[in-house]
Amino acid sequence: MRLRHSAILAAWAVLAAPLAGQSAAPLRLSFAEAVRRAAEAPAVAIANLRIDQAGAGVREARGPLLPSVKVGGAWVRRSYSPQSFGFPIPSLPSDTVIGPFNNYDARIAATQTLLDLSGFARVKAAQAFERGSGADRNAVLEGAAQAAALTYLRAVRSSAAVAARGADSSIAAELVRLAQEQRAAGVSAAIDVTRARTQLVVAQGLLVVARNESDRARLDLGRVLGLDPAVPLDLSDTLAIGLAQANVPLNVDSAIAAATAARPDLVAELAHGETARRTSTAFANERLPRIDLAGDYGMNGLTVPDAVGTGQIAVQVTIPLLDGFRREGRISEQRAIADESDIRARDLRNGIGVEVRAAFLDAQSAQAQQSIAAERLRLAEDELAQARQRFRAGVAGNIEVITAQSSLVQARDADIDARYSAAAARVALARAVGVAHTLH
């Protein structure tokens, strides 16, 4: 049995070695790189394809206004009765059939629209739709950049929490050692050792939870960026004070003006309204005359060698009179869409000012809270150091040390939360102004 177990373990080691060597290398990722990679996210790729579709729509709308050329040829073997065509020949019986005979025809035909105001308006509407698709893509990119930035911040926040819980575990282990030394020296009770060990177990449990949350946060970041989940991420940035900066104007009024002029969601809404209005114009212009030039030229004859050149040229004028009032219904529909878009654009323009002002207030508040949390952490560290000195000197029990340790844990969490909130507030401000893609 021992030999069998040894053989199984040896075989497993041989098989596992290549698999371990095939593990993916970690991908080192900075905050700026994560935001840049957001431009390659699946949602942005889909938006890029919609721009291509809109561009194809422009070419399709322009097609009827451009020359159309076609080439054709035919061979016909026919027979016919003059009587059936209304051309009776007195010298021939009424049931006379002429033919059969062959007819060959090869021809090139071309048409060109000279005047089509409805077609011109359709091209303008398609171009407006293309601009709207581009603005929609920018809006999707802004959302993807914001999602990537916030997910990265959550990942580095969880990494900071892991580091904090590791420091808590180290302090708790040192307190256990100190309590044991004090107990061995006879200056401390056994309950002090038990309390210290309890704190150590709690700290180790919180460390396990923090590591799990950190691993989950990295998976979420890879999912947002569309990365292979098998590739581990190595985050090069930490939750530092200056993380998540963007090209945001320092003045509130300047930021509102910049957002109103460049926010992609507002630009997209305005383009959608313009598309509806130009489409309505195209439908209305269908009432106007349309002028087309058409012509063809080819060879026609009973035999190929005897074929002669024939052709024609024509100018055609078309004036629509009545289509069952379907045109009026389409015009009313597009006008309603345009009015709806105008209302949304006006509401969005008003909301931009509110968003930017609120984002500035949140950023200022988060900055102040970050300073307060840093001072609280400093004081908690001093409190723990003094409590440990008192316990080591035998003038206080470890209850005082445990209380100071709990205060330090809370202060560390508050400092991490404050730094995260400040960075998240900067991301929200960049999104409000419409420059989330410039975050770095």
- Establish if 298 belongs to a structural domain: no
Please state whether the peptide bond connecting residue 229 to the residue before it is cis, i.e. omega within 30 degrees of 0.
Answer: no
- Establish if 366 belongs to a structural domain: yes
CA angle, 299 then 300 then 304, to 5°: 85
Place of tokens 């000197």: 393
Q: Tell me how far apart the 2 most distant CA atoms of the chain are, in Å.
A: 147
Question: How far is Cα 397 from Cα 185, in angstroms, rounded to an integer?
Answer: 14
Check residue 180 and give its pLDDT: 83
Question: How far is Cα 324 from Cα 271, in angstroms, rounded to an integer?
Answer: 31
What is the DSSP code (8-state) at residue 440? Answer: -
- Establish if 316 belongs to a structural domain: no
* Angle of the 252-262 helix axis to the 326-393 helix axis, nearest 10: 140
Give the total number of structural domains in the chain: 1
- Establish if 152 belongs to a structural domain: yes
Question: How far is Cα 304 from Cα 301, in angstroms, rounded to an integer?
Answer: 6
Closest CA to 415 of 368, 370, 378: 370
Check residue 351 and give its pLDDT: 92
Whole domain around residue 207: which residue ranges? 26-72+115-289+325-438
Task: Give the torsion through C-alpha atoms of 33, 34, 36, 42, to 10 deg.
Answer: 140
Check residue 59 and give its pLDDT: 94
Do 98 and 84 meet the contact criterion of CB atoms below 8 Å apart? no
Question: How is 255-318 classified by DSSP, letter by letter?
Answer: HHHHHHHH-HHHHHHHHHHHHHHHHHHHHHGGGS-EEEEEEEEEEEESSSTT-EEEEEEEEEEE
- Establish if 309 belongs to a structural domain: no
- Establish if 401 belongs to a structural domain: yes
- Establish if 392 belongs to a structural domain: yes
H helices, E strands: number in the chain? 9, 6
Overall pTM surpassing 0.85 (yes/no): no
CATH of the domain at 171: 1.20.1600.10
Q: How far, rounded to the nearest angstrom, does the alpha carbon of residue 407 sit from its chain's CA centroid?
A: 42
Query: Could you read off the pLDDT tens digit of each residue along the chain, which spans 440 residues?
Result: 444 444 444 444 444 444 444 466 888 999 999 999 999 888 899 999 999 999 999 999 999 999 999 999 999 988 878 777 776 777 777 777 887 888 899 999 999 999 999 999 999 999 999 999 999 999 999 999 999 999 999 999 999 999 998 988 888 888 888 878 777 777 667 887 787 888 888 888 988 999 999 999 999 999 998 888 888 899 998 888 888 999 998 889 999 999 999 899 999 999 999 999 999 999 999 899 999 999 999 999 888 888 899 999 999 999 988 888 888 999 999 999 999 999 999 999 999 999 999 999 999 999 999 999 999 999 998 988 888 888 777 766 677 888 888 888 899 999 999 999 999 999 999 999 999 999 99
- Establish if 218 belongs to a structural domain: yes
